């Protein structure tokens, strides 16, 4: 448990550091050095267009990241008057339902120390539980993070291609880039800044693929009306049309959530709570 609590603190700091490094490399290295074209007008210059795209992706990724943390699932143990103390916690830990609870699909999180509605999983990179209240923001966070990493990967490959006078037309060139760069770096033929960019290329690739996988898997569960916790515990859910499952998570203003970071809107949990 101590290791998990430590990871819950280190992972968000690691993500913010990677975001800051990516922003600095894009704005102060890639864009000024690789996207200058005197033949184009300043309004439609590649540097301006690429910068606008990167800022759009980054703003959505960081905006939804903040909303995932801000819209933390409510502690139903307090709102439903479940009480406090180790006895109540033990009832949730062993899977039994407390008599005062009227809502299904609740779960007690050890790290957050609270009972959440439609608990999906605990995200260490946000240090928060993912539930019915912040599911849409989490999906958008994964989507735009993967796109921002892809954008940085392409820009970084263009920078390395020009700096080292090499071509990535052959897919094996990227796979063999790291071992060749390490040997050149220790022999003094490669600058430290170029080696750092090469390491960031593989980091962007890994983070981008991981976030894309999380996003696709989460969307599949949403279409089925399930959560990861329900799948892990083998719980059976009521079959519903996939459109209703999507609307439950993304709401009626789903298009707005694709363009700008907005808070999650209406869910079945609110209706149940009002009843």
- Catalytic residue list: 123
- Tokens for 63, please give them: 């905006």
The per-residue DSSP string of the chain comes to -HHHHHHHHHHHHHHHHHHHHHHHHIIIIIHHHH---TTS-GGG-HHHHHHHHHHHHHHHHHHHHHHHHHTPPP-HHHHTT---SHHHHHHHHTTPPPTT---SSEEEETTTTEEEET--EEETTTTEEE-TTTHHHHHHHHHHHHHHHHHHHHHHHHHHHHHTT---SSHHHHHTHHHHHHHHHHTT-S-HHHHHHHHHHHHHHHHHHHHHHHHHHHHHHHHHT--HHHHHHT-------HHHHHHHHH-TTHHHHHHS-------HHHHHHH-
For residue 4, the SS3 value is helix
H or E element, residue 52: helix 46-70
**Chain centre distance of CA 126:** 8
Rg, Å, the chain Cα set: 23
State the CB neighbour count (10 A cutoff) for residue 247: 16
């Amino acid at each position: 448990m101590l290791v998990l609590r430590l990871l819950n603190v280190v992972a968000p700091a690691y993500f913010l550091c990677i975001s800051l490094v990516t922003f600095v490399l894009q704005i102060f290295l890639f864009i000024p050095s690789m996207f200058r074209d005197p033949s184009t007008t300043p309004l439609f210059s590649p540097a301006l267009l690429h910068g606008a795209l990167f800022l759009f992706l980054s703003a959505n990724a960081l905006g939804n990241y903040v909303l995932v943390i801000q819209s933390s699932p409510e502690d139903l143990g307090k709102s439903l008057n479940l009480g406090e103390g180790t006895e109540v916690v033990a009832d949730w830990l062993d899977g039994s339902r407390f008599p005062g609870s009227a809502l299904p699909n609740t779960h007690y999180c050890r790290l957050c120390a609270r009972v959440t509605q439609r608990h999906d999983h605990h995200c260490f990179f946000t240090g928060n539980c993912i539930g019915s209240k912040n599911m849409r923001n989490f999906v958008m966070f994964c989507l735009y993070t993967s796109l921002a990493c892809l954008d940085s990967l392409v820009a970084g490959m263009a920078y390395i291609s020009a700096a080292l006078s090499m071509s990535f037309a052959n897919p094996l060139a990227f796979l063999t880039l790291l071992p060749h760069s390490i040997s050149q770096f220790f022999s003094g033929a490669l600058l430290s800044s170029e080696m750092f960019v090469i390491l960031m290329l593989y980091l962007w690739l890994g983070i981008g693929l991981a976030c894309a996988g999380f996003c696709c898997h989460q969307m599949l569960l949403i279409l089925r009306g399930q959560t990861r916790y329900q799948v892990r515990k083998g719980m059976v859910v009521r079959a519903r049309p996939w459109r209703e499952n999507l609307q439950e998570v993304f709401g009626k203003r789903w298009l707005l959530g694709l363009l700008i970071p907005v808070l999650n809107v209406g869910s079945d949990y609110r209706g149940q709570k009002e009843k």
